[in-house]
Amino acid sequence: MPYPKGHKERVRNSILESARRLFNRRGYEAVSIDDVMENAGLTRGGFYSYFKSKGELYAEAVAYVLVSHPARNWPGIDFDLTSDPARKIVNAYLSDRHFDDVEASCPLVTQASDAARGDRQVQDAYRRVLEHMAAVFMRSTREREKRTETGLAVAALCVGGLALARGVGDRNLADRIRKASRIAALELGNWQ
């Protein structure tokens, strides 16, 4: 065992973190394995002793947000979530900070189109991230029989609002989209 225990896992995680950021910024097709490895401080040849293919790396990178920074999955949320979590997450999700920090963004926004075109592996990862997010909203919904509905709709509103804001290329309109989405999301969940 010529290398310290845990070495392989640490390097693997640094590749995933590098991939997560690059895929967020440029999307699946525009990121090369060279880019990912160089960004992680390695060279391309080593890649295939960590992952079977680029597709497998992509799926793991999408889900990596769930295991990498549990306390700050989204920029702006590194504070206490024990009280009022839904309201705080809606606000943070549609905040300036999350809007601007694309590399650290929630993959539900940045990878929406690529996930829709992806294989089972990516879509499973994508679904797990959504379920994680929607579950918070569901738990914060008072009316029992509307929990699933509200959780999914609020998630759709947050993801759609940020996606549209990032796409229109007009800061003023982007801010109005985010503000409108935030207000509507809090209204839907009764979290004003």
Q: How far apart are CA 176 and CA 170, in angstroms?
A: 10
Rounded least distance, CB 2 to its own copies, Å: 40
Residue 181 binds its own copies (CB under 8 A): yes
Work out the burial of residue 85: count CB atoms within 10 Å of its CB; fewer than 13 is exposed, 13-18 middle, 19 or more buried. middle
Q: Among residue numbers 133 through 152, which ones bind its own copies (CB under 8 A)?
A: 148-152
In the complex, the smallest distance separating the C-beta of residue 49 from DNA, rounded to whole angstroms, is: 5
Whole-number Å distance between alpha carbons of 28 and 15: 15
**Between residue 22 and residue 81, which ones bind its own copies under the rule CB under 8 A?**
25-30
Among 10, 96, 135, 168, binds its own copies (CB under 8 A): 168
**Could you say whether residue 89 binds its own copies (CB under 8 A)?**
no
Smallest gap from residue 164 Cβ to its own copies (A): 6
Over the window 104 to 133, marking each residue x when it contacts its own copies by CB under 8 A and - when it does not, the resulting string is ----xxxxxxxxxxx-x-xxx-xx--x---
Fill in the amino acid letter for 48: Y
Residues that bind its own copies (CB under 8 A): 25-30, 102, 108-118, 120, 122-124, 126-127, 130, 148-161, 163-164, 166-170, 173, 176-177, 179-181, 183-184, 187-188
